[in-house]
Amino acid sequence: MKILVFSDSHGKLDKMYRAVELHKNNTDAVIFLGDGIVDFNYLKDYFTNIALYEVKGNCDLFCGSVPNERVVSIDGIKILITHSHLYPPSNRYEALAKKAYDLGADAVFFGHTHQIADDIIEVEGSSIHIFNPGSVGHEGYYGVVNTSNGVLVTSHTKII
């Protein structure tokens, strides 16, 4: 399966829309990690044949029932998705990995920092994959994730 991962569009829908349009024929899911829920809601109207998952960020006000974080299961892989603004900057990666481990997730996808990240953190003998796609609104970065036999293959892409 192919998953597109976005964060931090901050009102700049055009880059996110173009990226989904580019991949729409072979994408199974889109994950949005906050700070631009209004932008993401616009995508929902146009890409109705793709599974869409979202969480809100610290700049997403009045989002109703959109959670700060949640676990989604895609192709048998459990992924904690969060904006990460509620985690301490001093040990964000470790705290996110521990939370994913505690929830039984295999990976955590997060935003907020606008910094690309792709790493494995060991938690109590388990490997937790942490992934931040960067900011689609500012730098134009997003994640492309493929799953195969319970394994995530992650990469970063930039749209101009």
Give residue 62's pLDDT band: very low, low, confident or very high (50, 70, 90).
confident
Structure tokens at 83: 């904006």
pLDDT, residue 160, reads 82
Residue 64 DSSP label: T
Measured between alpha carbons, how far apart are the two ends of the chain, in Å?
Answer: 25
DSSP-assigned letters across all residues of the chain: -EEEEE---TT-HHHHHHHHHHHGGG--EEEE-SS-HHHHHHHHHH-TTSEEEE---TT--S-TT--SEEEEEETTEEEEEE--TTS-GGGHHHHHHHHHHHTT-SEEEE-SS---EEEEEEETTEEEEEEE---TTTT-EEEEEEEETTEEEEEEEE--
Q: For residue range 103-122, what is the model confidence (pLDDT) as tens digits?
A: 999 999 999 999 999 999 99
Kindly report the average pLDDT of the chain as a whole number: 96
Predicted confidence at residue 150, as pLDDT, reads 87
Q: Please report, as a single letter, which amino acid is at residue 158.
A: K
Query: Which residues in 49-89 belong to E strands, given as ranges?
Result: 51-54, 69-74, 77-82
**Which is more confident, 146 or 160?**
146
| pTM of the entire predicted model | 0.96
Longest dimension (CA), the chain: 42
State the Cα–Cα distance between residues 15 and 21, nearest whole angstrom.
Answer: 10
**pLDDT tens per residue, range 6-53:** 999 999 999 999 999 999 999 999 999 999 999 999 988 889 999 999
**Single-letter code of the amino acid located at 152:** L
- Kindly state the average pLDDT of the residues 130-153: 96
pLDDT exceeds cutoff 90 at 63: no
- What is the bridge-based pairing of β-strands 107-110 and 77-82? parallel
Nearest to 121 by CA among 132, 139, 108: 108
What CATH number labels 2-158?
Answer: 3.60.21.10
pLDDT exceeds 90 at position 144: yes
Calculate what percentage of the chain has a pLDDT beyond 70: 100
